[in-house]
Chain A
Amino acid sequence: MSGSLSTPRIRAPRSARAGEPVEIRLLIEHPMETGLRQEGGRVVPRDLLNRLVVRVNGEVALQAELRNGTSANPYHVFFLRLDRTSDVEFTWTDERGRSARASARITVA
């Protein structure tokens, strides 16, 4: 583990009704370099996020594999259906094992 990834951005509601789908948006700044691109005649080293994991109260709810076709600054939109007040944790990891975390607490009335 060396260095750290940028701070992710999250858009999630503070509260939701039980069983109602809530929209979550995530954005993390990352160059997603494929290792195939040249700049000034030199290859830009490969630097890729390879995983996004979303856990709800500790259980994996979504797992995404990111690859060299994923755009720079990966942006995800998805829906969660929650039955109770939940702690949602988001973790991005890159190919060197570095990670960035963010979390949100969504109160279910």
Chain B
Amino acid sequence: MRTALPRRALLAAAALAPLSAPRRASAQTQGHLLVIGGGFGGATAAGFARKRYPWLQVTLVEPRTRFVTCPYGNLVIGGLRQIGDITHGYDGLRARGVTVLHDWATGIDAASRQVRLAGGQTLSYDKLILSPGIALRYGAVEGYDEAASERMPHAWVPGDGAQTLLLRRMLEEMPDGGVVGLAIPANPFRCPPGPYERISMIASYLKRQKPRSKILALDAKDAFSKQPLFQDAWNELYPGIIEWVPANRDGRVVRVDPRERVLETEFGEKHRVAVANVIPPQSAARIATEAGLTDNTGWVPVNPRTFEARAAQHIHVVGDANIPGPMPKSGYVANTTAKQAVAAAAAALRGEPVPEAVYYNTCYSHVGEGYGISVVNIYRPNTEGTAIAEVPNAGGVSPRGQNPEQRRLEAIYADAWYESITKDMFA
């Protein structure tokens, strides 16, 4: 338990840029919370820490000066949003007293609680929130590497938005009648309903602009998130446009030819398409692997109450890099678990017990214009604290059947969710 002022924090503070937040009297607890990654997990953690625990000194390390969200990227691809609508900056966090460093964290020394930056600086921390996101496993699909992603965009890690815009441009340049092919990975991966929202948004664009075109969705799974709702909507809104091929009908893509835009499946079928979107298998981002935090799945096992990595003390891993039990790898889960991780870290610094944990998730999907669906769940650590469990009868999915008013409202709720969560992160 660390109740006294940690010497390490003072040293770290001295090494950093001047703090905009006033320093508390030394009788108060202080501590340096270092956050790596400025996405849904990291931006939430940094902002929440300053709002809720103003005695914490907070540093955020994020290489990019602008953040393009994965959520709503499918609407950009479908032509219903512009990239600027889903791009956010870090001035709001700075105004809250977060020290934002635009640099790459290149390594973590868990024993000495230090993080090296590509720019040469070394930062010390009392508690580290690591929210590094995912790595695309190039090579897991034969022929699909970073170079191939220029001809067959993944648009799954937006970066500066280039991948999202590349896929959009390819759809715009495709002649009417062209087939859009998608390769969809097995579980677990970032944003389980994401590929199916993407199929819907592309179909919406094709129906409006290229009515003779079709979508061929090749899937390494036999079932997917909100499947009946998606398929009902596809039949209703986009009849004849979408062919979804599950693994058990040879949907698993094992090899690609980027030059010829061919997607080859497990049993040797070669599908030549006009535009290919390959969403490759994924793992935790490299920094988590190199710090020895991942297990043989490639993801980071964490404590269900604190999100502290099983493999290292004082490092809380949130966002898509961890193993979230029954929770999906979603922006909402990153947000809600980041807050619990910060609360647990702050409590530990003050020698207080870990606050009770409740996690929330809603995944909205836009299926058409003014047509939204959702899945909601609430989760808690089990009584032993060994795993995360769904709270029974606390969530659900949108009802099936003809519910046009519900669909219209859920599209509005989805937009409101996006506004709220991005304000929570960045404002």
Contact = CB atoms under 8 A, between A and B. Distances in A.
Whether A and B are associated in the same complex: the answer reads yes
Interface of A: 9-11, 25, 27, 29, 71-73, 75
Interface size class for chain B? Answer: under 10
Given A25-B266, A25-B267, A27-B267, A9 B250 contact: yes
Interface in B241-256: 247-250
A29 B248 contact: yes
A34 B248 CA distance: 18
B266 A73 contact: no
Given A11-B266, A11-B268, A25-B267, A72 B248 contact: yes
Contacts, number: 21
B248 A27 contact: yes
Interface of B: 222, 247-250, 266-268
A11 B266 CA distance: 7
B267 A29 contact: no
Contacts of A25: 266-267
Nearest to B250: A9
A25 B247 CA distance: 13
A11 B252 CA distance: 13
A75 B268 contact: no
Most buried by A among B222, B248, B249, B266: B248
Contact of A11 (B222, B248, B267): B267
Contacts of B247: 75
B249 A73 contact: yes
Contacts of A71: 248
B249 A29 contact: yes
B248 A75 contact: yes
B248 A9 contact: no
Contacts of A29: 248-249
A10 B266 CA distance: 9
Nearest to B267: A9
Closest 9 CB pairs of A and B: A73-B248, A9-B267, A11-B267, A9-B250, A11-B266, A27-B267, A29-B249, A27-B250, A75-B248
Nearest to A73: B248
Nearest to A28: B248
